[in-house]
């Protein structure tokens, strides 16, 4: 059995958009000009992947809390008094629609 090298990065979303279906889509941003944990992890993984006879699986897990989506959107789009620019309303509306969908799905579950 091959040993496994695992990287787990706790990250917050850094980008958002609305897809063609009107759904909120968040993104994780990485750059070679940053020195955060994700970027350092990617550099390390790239070096490991370049080893020709590496006998290990190299895995990356990015952990993002669902609440972080909202927190990130508020931090980026609203002031300290909780007032957001009107141009951002469509992002909040899409996120709210997705959150309602999640709530509806949970409410339809049956538990034993």
Q: Hey, which residues does 61 pair with through a beta bridge?
A: 8
Antiparallel, parallel or unpaired: β 15-18 and 57-63:
unpaired
Buried b (16+ CB within 10 A) or exposed e, 2-19: eeeeebebebebbebeee
How much is the CA Rg of the chain, to the nearest whole Å?
19
Q: Is the pLDDT of residue 1 over 60?
A: no
pLDDT of 9-63, one tens digit each?
877 777 778 889 988 888 877 777 777 888 888 888 888 888 888 888 888 888 8
Distance CA 90, CA 21 (A): 13
């Amino acid at each position: 059995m091959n040993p496994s090298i695992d990287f787990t990065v706790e990250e917050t979303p850094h980008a958002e958009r609305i897809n063609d279906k009107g759904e909120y889509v968040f993104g994780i941003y990485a750059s070679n000009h940053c020195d955060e944990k994700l970027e350092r992890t990617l550099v390390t993984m790239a070096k490991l992947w370049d080893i020709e006879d590496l006998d290990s699986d190299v895995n990356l897990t990015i952990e993002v809390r669902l609440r972080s989506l909202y927190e990130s959107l508020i931090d980026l789009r609203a002031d300290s008094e909780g007032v957001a620019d009107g141009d951002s309303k469509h992002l909040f509306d899409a996120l709210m629609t997705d959150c309602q969908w999640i709530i509806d799905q949970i409410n339809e579950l049956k538990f034993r």
